[in-house]
Structures are given as structure tokens and as C-alpha cells.
């Protein structure tokens, strides 16, 4: 069960013991409660036996791969999963997301980025339990897929809503165009990253046209971020 005294109850499945120990110490110091397993079979058993708030899952694991663990877990559980991959292993990223992972992080990574991604997924999960998310002058109803600017409903296309939802999930993070394209359009999208700029413009015109506070900001040389 989730531990009320902590920021969240996490499971880490990582076979590199030095890395696992480092992540455990950093996450516990950040306020999370942790369980750690070092192979896929034990990780799956632990994941099925407990109610975790989030799972950190390495791709390359003994006994049972992280990909297969994720696939089996998704049959019975919607717990947020961050897949940890080796740098440059794009096929692992694609397969991990296709098997049900919510996000991925390539090694090596900064611990602050891991914290940010965990916070984003936990916020998004919590938002499903409430009817509305408030961001600046926006009221977002995720389950109904409706957006209101003050009291006026803003009509978004499905893709525009998915883009806004992704930006909200990763609030205050600098997101590259490639990240946005992969997560909102998917790996099989055949176009280029210019489509992201086009849809950001569409979204800005709709959600910021009557607002005194700008929400979507350009991060020079990187992409975009949403912040109040």
C-alpha cells in the first residue's frame, strides 16, 4: 500500500547494484519509500504483490527483461512506469513505450531529471482522481477532455488536447521537439519536428488569446515548456 508519510512508494528494478544503491539513496533522501529488486522475475513478483505509486524499470535484466515485465504488468496494472535504457538504444525505447511504459530515461542521466519525471507522472496520476486541473487561467478536465479559459470553453482538436495534456504532465520541464513528437505523435510518425511548432502555435492561439498570462514558453535551442 502507498505510505502516507512519504512522497510515494516506488519500486526500482535494476541489476547494476551500484547504480541501484545510488538511486535508492537519492530517492529515499528525496522523501520516497523504496523497494529494490535486481532481476526481472523478482521485480514482477514484487510489482504484483504491492500497490506502488510508480515503478523504475531497467530494460536489460536477468531472468526476465524489463520489456516483458512491463508487458505482463500492463495486463493487470496501470501503475506509472519509467523505463531506463542505455544511451542510444532507440529500439529499446520504442519497444518499451509500445509495451506500456509511460516514459523513458537514457543512461547516464541527471538525478534531478529523474526527480522531475517522477513528479510529473505522479501529478498526472493524481489528476485522474480529481475532476479538474488548474493551470493559470485554464481549467482542464482530463477525463472529459474539455478545456476552459476562465469560464469559456475552448474547443481543441484531439491532437491539440493531447499536446496540451503532455505539456501539463511535464509542467516546468524543458521539452525538446523530438520528445514532444515522440510522445504525442508516436514513433511511427513520418513527418518532421516542424509539426510541433505548428501545433504549439495553434494551441497558443486558442488558450492564450484572451489570457493575460502566457503559459507556453519557448526554450531557445531546445523546444518548449509550460509554466505559470
User: What's the number of CA atoms in the CB half-sphere (13 Å) around residue 56?
Assistant: 29
pLDDT at position 146 over 80: yes
Q: What is the pLDDT of residue 193?
A: 78
pLDDT at position 122 over 60: yes
Q: What is the pLDDT of residue 86?
A: 77
Grid cell listed for 22: 545510488
What's the CA gap between 21 and 24, in Å, rounded?
5
Query: What's the pTM?
Result: 0.58
Amino acid at each position: 500500500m502507498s505510505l502516507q508519510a512519504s512522497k510515494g512508494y516506488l519500486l526500482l528494478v535494476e541489476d547494476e547494484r551500484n547504480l541501484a544503491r545510488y538511486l535508492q539513496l537519492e530517492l529515499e533522501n528525496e522523501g520516497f519509500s523504496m523497494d529494490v529488486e535486481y532481476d526481472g522475475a523478482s521485480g514482477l513478483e514484487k510489482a504484483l504483490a504491492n500497490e506502488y505509486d510508480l515503478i523504475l524499470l531497467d530494460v536489460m535484466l536477468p531472468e526476465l527483461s524489463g520489456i516483458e515485465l512491463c508487458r505482463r504488468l500492463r495486463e493487470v496494472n496501470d501503475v506509472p512506469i519509467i523505463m531506463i535504457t542505455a544511451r542510444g538504444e532507440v529500439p529499446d525505447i520504442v519497444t518499451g513505450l509500445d509495451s506500456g511504459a509511460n516514459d523513458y530515461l537514457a543512461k547516464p542521466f541527471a538525478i534531478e531529471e529523474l526527480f522531475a519525471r517522477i513528479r510529473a507522472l505522479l501529478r498526472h496520476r493524481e489528476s485522474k482522481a480529481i475532476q479538474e486541473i488548474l493551470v493559470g487561467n485554464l481549467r482542464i478536465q482530463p477525463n472529459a477532455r474539455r478545456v476552459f479559459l476562465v469560464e469559456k470553453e475552448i474547443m481543441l482538436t484531439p491532437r491539440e488536447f493531447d499536446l496540451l495534456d503532455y505539456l501539463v504532465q511535464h509542467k516546468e520541464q524543458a521539452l525538446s521537439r523530438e520528445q514532444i513528437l515522440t510522445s504525442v505523435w508516436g514513433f511511427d510518425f513520418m513527418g518532421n519536428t516542424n509539426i510541433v511548432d505548428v501545433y504549439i502555435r495553434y494551441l497558443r492561439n486558442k488558450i492564450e488569446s484572451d489570457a493575460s498570462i502566457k503559459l507556453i514558453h519557448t526554450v531557445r535551442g531546445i523546444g518548449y515548456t509550460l509554466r505559470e
